[in-house]
Chains A and B, each alone.
Chain A
Amino acid sequence: MTAEIIVVTSGKGGVGKTTTSASLATGLAMEGKKVVVIDFDVGLRNLDLIMGCERRVVYDFVNVVQGEASLKQALIKDKRHENLYVLAASQTRDKEALTQEGVERIINELGEEGFDYIICDSPAGIEKGAHLAMYFADHAVVVVNPEVSSVRDSDRIIGLLSSKTRRAEHGKETITLYLLLTRYNPARVEAGEMLSVKDVEEILGMSVIGVIPESQNVLAASNSGVPVILDTASCAGKAYHDAVARILGEDRPLRFLDTPKKSLLQRMFGG
């Protein structure tokens, strides 16, 4: 049994990788898949907080890589979905604690445990941690914000994904790339202050798998340790649901790309 490995990556930091990893893992689990989400950000553990399991971390990913704990001991079972697990990053070790052989061994073990999906939440940058997070991936979710440095970095990452992964090195079928545009603000796009979906697609030469609007509900969700996809009333939650469905092969139109319609009065006075 082999699991499908999806890396969530971006190059730039703070664009929404961890937010996306948590929602993607939860969304796949809601579809009945057996899922584990791994935090590769050694030294800057965060995924546990976003998943709301920070107080249940005993052993972490590095402990397992180093043989100090078994996989079973380190896997944290999600309290909302019984087929969802979290593997936390180490807070105390440095990045050198992860090795390619160690990561490979754990990924193989997870496959034997019958996991359908392994989601790898990448750290920022293009250094060792980011490289290890993407190396074994079958699919990549490239998270991009409508902003110059993020777009440039994601183009760089897309280049690395198609040349510096196991699939590329072994001459296998290339990794599937999914471009996810997040923190999108339709009002600013309409005002000409922000790159549009079309602009980003044109520059990067690929279409998006989803667009997540900039939303206050994301902060509220992280405050309470609940992945935003579970906030089914919010636009961000709905947009993440759509993105997960599309990754699973469903055809859904993009939503939340326009500003809510204004009333006649608001339009007259430019409100």
Chain B
Amino acid sequence: MGILDFLKNKPKPSASIAKERLRIIVAQERSTRGGPDYLPMMRNELLEVIKKYICVDIEDININVEHTSGHEVLELSVALPESKTTPTTAI
């Protein structure tokens, strides 16, 4: 880095953000590619159900179709929000 770089206002490197976003979206699209057509619909409906109990966003739900030796496994993961006591419907 040059001496003057400390004085200049450099833009934040965005390539790492791009890489992280791509890693996630590409993995997601690959995992459902060639899988059953109902997956996106099912994901949305599951989201509706999960939302009744926990406050999550569609981004926090991951559906994966794993092809392991001869059989397929449908894997669903939900990233729970930080504080576990944020029920939206249990009032």
Does the CB pair B13–A152 fall under 8 Å?
no
Check if B15 sits within 8 Å of A148, measured CB to CB: no
**Which of A152, A189, A191, A193 is close to B26, meaning CB atoms less than 8 Å apart?**
A152
Asked if residues B18 and A148 are in contact (CB atoms below 8 Å), the reply is yes
A169 to chain B, nearest CB (A): 14
Contact A270 B5 (CB under 8 A): yes
A121–B31 Cα distance when bound, in Å, is 29
Residues in chain A near residue B23, CB distance under 8 A: 202-203
Q: Mark B1-31, 1 if CB is under 8 A from A, else 0.
A: 1111100101101111011011101100110
**Does B30 lie within 8 Å of A269, measured CB to CB?**
no
Q: How many residues of A contact B (CB 8 A)?
A: 25
A249 close to B (CB within 8 Å) = no
- On chain B, the number of residues with a Cβ less than 8 Å from chain A's Cβ atoms is 23
Question: Which partner residue on chain B sits nearest A204 by CB separation?
Answer: B26
Q: Does B19 lie within 8 Å of A155, measured CB to CB? A: no
A122 interface residue per 8 A CB criterion: no
Contact B16 A203 (CB under 8 A): no
Distance, CA A191 to CA B1, complexed state (A): 11
B36 on the interface (CB 8 Å rule)? no
- Interface, chain A (partner B; CB < 8 A): 147-148, 151-152, 155-156, 159, 163, 189, 191-196, 199, 202-204, 266-271
Query: Which 9 pairs between the two chains have the least Cβ-Cβ distance?
Result: A270-B2, A192-B13, A270-B4, A270-B5, A199-B19, A203-B22, A155-B26, A192-B15, A159-B33
Residues of B within 8 A of A (CB): 1-5, 8, 10-11, 13-16, 18-19, 21-23, 25-26, 29-30, 33-34
